């Protein structure tokens, strides 16, 4: 009944029928696993001869991602929210890796889809998207992998530099781990006479969602191929718009964003310190008690 009411791309396949008395879906979670999908050369930029340019250096991104593992202060990798009154920004990352996803390729066979897997005990608000933004800057060669370490150094960098976090579209909360007393039961692992029919229907539905998405992807690849072939002979299509390949910043979306002059992250304007953000919120909310620490 629940699956019949859910959107096509959201389905339940396991349930916990008897959770512990103090169970909380958020605060009882012991660790989380996020996935962020991206394409190595998703930025549609062109050089003067019409050849697509600017691909990601995945090896450099992998180097940067490996530096995330361990316990660090992530205040420069999140969005500050004074209403939460956070003072502790230490979080522990269990694993951070970038790997190819599957055989999905682009028109020229070079658009390999990658996934950034990030596992940790807890995360700050927008921590994953901020982290991915830094990795994409490293992948494009705008920054070095050791920027990750520099942003962990809150003595040298106590305030977060201003930068735009990555797009939310490719981000997936992949898995949540709970204690062993949270027992999961398959929705079709039952003595109910309709269990096998339910399992079969769910499997067919998920296949149909996948099939529809895959066909649409191939149709879009074919359309893209037609346009890229047609535009290949044009004179500097990017230049006609007054933009250059060097000015494109990948942000996890297809188009990315343009910038006239790239400013290194550590040379940018800094946001207010944590204590200033917290004090300003308390001042604007008189009578409000300091909320308990939260983990997002």
pLDDT in 10s for each residue of the chain, 296 residues: 888 899 988 888 888 989 999 999 999 999 999 999 998 874 444 444 443 446 889 999 999 999 999 999 999 999 998 888 899 999 999 999 999 987 554 444 567 889 999 999 999 999 999 999 999 999 999 999 999 999 999 999 999 999 999 999 999 999 999 999 999 988 777 666 666 677 788 888 899 999 999 899 889 888 988 887 887 766 554 444 444 445 778 899 877 888 888 899 999 999 999 999 999 989 888 776 665 555 44
CB contact at 8 A, 118 and 36: yes
CA 293-164-157 angle, 5° bins:
60
Which residue bears the tokens 């359309």? 223
pTM, whole model, 2 decimals? Answer: 0.84
- Which one-letter DSSP state was computed for residue 237? T
- How confident is the model at residue 256, as a pLDDT? 83
- How confident is the model at residue 234, as a pLDDT? 62
CA 224-142-138 angle, 5° bins:
80
Residue 132 tokens read as 């991915």
Beta bridge partners of 98: 116
Which residue bears the tokens 């692992």? 189
* Residue closest to 9 by CA, chosen among 205, 268, 277: 205
- How confident is the model at residue 253, as a pLDDT? 86
- How confident is the model at residue 14, as a pLDDT? 87
* Residue closest to 54 by CA, chosen among 262, 214, 263, 268: 262
- How confident is the model at residue 45, as a pLDDT? 44
CA pair distance 278, 281, nearest whole angstrom: 5
- How confident is the model at residue 160, as a pLDDT? 96
What's the topology of domain 29-177+232-284?
Alpha-Beta Plaits (3.30.70)
Beta bridge partners of 249: 257
Output phi, psi for 46, to 5 deg: -135, 145
């Amino acid at each position: 009944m629940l699956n019949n009411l859910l959107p096509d791309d959201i389905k339940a396949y396991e349930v916990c029928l008897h959770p512990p008395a103090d169970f909380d879906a958020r605060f009882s979670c012991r660790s989380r696993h996020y996935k962020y999908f991206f394409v190595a050369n998703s930025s549609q930029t062109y050089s003067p001869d019409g050849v697509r340019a600017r691909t990601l250096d995945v090896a450099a991104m992998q180097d940067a991602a490996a530096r995330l593992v361990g316990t660090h202060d992530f205040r420069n990798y999140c969005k500050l929210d004074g209403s939460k009154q956070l003072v502790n920004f230490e979080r522990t990352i269990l694993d951070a890796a970038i790997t190819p996803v599957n055989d999905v390729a682009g028109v020229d066979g070079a658009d390999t889809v990658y996934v950034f897997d990030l596992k940790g005990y807890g995360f700050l608000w927008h921590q994953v998207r901020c982290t991915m933004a830094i990795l994409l800057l490293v992948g494009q060669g705008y920054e070095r992998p050791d920027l990750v370490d520099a942003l962990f150094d809150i003595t040298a960098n106590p305030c977060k530099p201003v930068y735009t976090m990555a797009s939310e579209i490719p981000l997936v909360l992949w898995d949540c781990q709970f204690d062993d007393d949270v027992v999961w039961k398959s929705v079709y692992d039952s003595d109910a006479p309709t269990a096998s029919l339910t399992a079969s229907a769910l499997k067919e539905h998920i296949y149909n969602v996948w099939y529809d998405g895959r066909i649409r992807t191939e149709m879009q690849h074919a359309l893209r191929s037609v346009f890229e072939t047609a535009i290949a002979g044009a004179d500097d299509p990017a230049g006609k718009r007054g933009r250059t390949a060097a000015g494109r910043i990948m942000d996890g979306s297809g188009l990315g964003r343009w910038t006239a002059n790239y400013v290194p992250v550590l040379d940018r304007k800094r946001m207010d310190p944590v204590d200033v953000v917290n004090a300003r919120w308390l001042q604007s909310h008189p009578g409000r008690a300091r909320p308990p620490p939260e983990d997002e």
